[in-house]
Amino acid sequence: MNIPKMKRAWYPLMPSAKLKNKPLARKLLGQPLVLARLGGQAVCFDDCCPHRHVPLSAGKIVSGRLQCGYHGWQFDASGKVCAVPGGMCACEAAAVPAHACREHGGWVWVCLAPDVPFAPPADFDAPPGFETVNAAKQMEGDFIHAIENFLDPTHTPYVHRGLLRGAGRQSMAVSQSHHAHGFSTRYRLGERQNGLINRLFDKGITINDAAFTFPGLARIDYLTPNSHEYRISAFFIPQDKGQIGLSVRVHFPKSRLPLAVKTLLFRPFIECLLVQDAAVIQRQYRHHSRYFASRPYCSTPNDLVIDHLLHLLLENAPEGVDKSGEMVLYGE
């Protein structure tokens, strides 16, 4: 992956509500981090005490400071050492490297580069008149292929058989466009999607609009001719080799039905889809990386998103080609 480019992006690492009175460990692009709330402010440091390199995430928060669990050094919100028990040394000049950290949209965002202005992708936020449920997930897999899985419909009659697509023909008119930071693919459905989820929740969806924004935001909008029904998004976090975080958001139009009830109805289906996808992504990653890493992939024009993803996320990959035309999926 193009690590220098990816280090200059912002990532939503955890829901704000999770960051309370304990430091929490996370990884981003292979780098161990500790997140903490100090005096109400979300902060992010290298997860490494400068004294003897113990993880600060194993420490605790004391009076608005992060305290290392080994010899008790304390760090303020800027990462500076502000107390050394015993008072023998003048280590107050020491500090743990701090990273840019912001809260937005109910998430704690981090950027590993010091000088990148905070600019979350517009698609991350709820469309006007919508309300949002957030969930953090974890999976083992290849970063690029996990995003491909989220955006690509061709696996749905097999991996999500019965849930998203049942038996029968499903035709879609595809049109695609890309820009410097992402791409979108619009599917105009010839037939209504026929899985259980659609039988329960689909009020005449005719368009699925799937988009990706660098470095990891994938979202799908579900539209009828007159309305925007749902937006489902996942911000993929490149934690470490083979380890992916998912900051999942489901946006519902505001209605008389309380958000808690919508969540209760919808959540089991989303969880089930995620479990099905996570299983195949893990199997793919382990098999590829252990036995077939040197063998190239074989793609067809039906693989709509992979070349765009490679261009955006790898160094020196050629620009993706926008596709358009008729795609037909057959459920067995």
* Interacting residues with ligand FES (CB under 6 A): 49, 51-52, 54, 68, 70-73
Residue 174 or 234 having the CB closest to Fe ion: 234
**DSSP structure string for 27-48:** EETTEEEEEEEETTEEEEEESS
Give the nearest residue (CB) to Fe ion: 277
Q: How far is the CB of 52 from ligand FES (least distance, A)?
A: 4
Return the number of the residue (133 or 272) whose C-beta is nearest Fe ion.
272
277 binds, among Fe ion, ligand FES, none (CB under 5 to 8 A by kind): Fe ion
Encoded tokens for 62: 């004391």
Q: Report the run of H or E that residue 282 belongs to, with start and end.
A: helix 259-291
> Quick one: 35 or 68, whose CB is closer to ligand FES?
68
Name the minimum Å distance from CB 254 to Fe ion: 27
152 near Fe ion (CB under 5 A): no
**Contact partners, residue 114, CB within 8 Å, separation at least 6:** 99, 100
How far is Cα 38 from Cα 36, in angstroms, rounded to an integer?
A: 6
Q: Which residues of 292-325 are buried (b: 16+ CB within 10 A; e: fewer)?
A: eeeeeeeeeeeebbbbbbbbbbeeeeeebebbee
Q: Which of residues 88-117 bind Fe ion (CB under 5 A)?
A: none
CA dist list (Å): 8 to 95, 98, 116: 23, 15, 6
To the nearest whole angstrom, how small is the minimum distance from the Cβ of residue 261 to Fe ion? 25
**Residue 54 or 274 with smaller CB distance to ligand FES:** 54
Nearer to Fe ion, 108 or 273 (CB): 273
Total residues contacting Fe ion (rule CB under 5 A)? 1
110 or 244, CB closer to Fe ion? 244
Q: Rounded to the nearest whole angstrom, what is the least distance from the CB of residue 187 to Fe ion in the complex?
A: 14
CB of 49 to ligand FES, least distance (A): 3
- CB nearer to ligand FES: pick between 54 and 163: 54
The one of ligand FES, Fe ion, none whose footprint includes residue 54, by CB under 5 to 8 A per kind, is: ligand FES
Cβ 21 to ligand FES shortest distance, Å: 20
Q: What is the DSSP code string of 245-274? A: EEEEEEEEE--SS-HHHHHHHHHHHHHHHH
Lay out the site mask for Fe ion across 257-296 (x = CB under 5 A, - = otherwise): --------------------x-------------------
Which residue pairs, CB below 8 angstroms and at least 24 apart, start in 75-80? 75/45, 76/38, 77/38, 77/39, 77/41, 77/43, 79/43, 79/45
> Which option in ligand FES, Fe ion, none does residue 269 bind, with CB closer than 5 to 8 A by kind?
none
Q: Which long-range contacts (CB under 8 A, 24 or more apart) does 19-22 make?
A: 19/108, 21/61, 22/60, 22/61
> In this structure, are residues 330 and 168 in contact, taking their beta carbons and an 8 Å threshold?
yes
The residues that touch Fe ion, with contacts defined as CB under 5 A, are 277
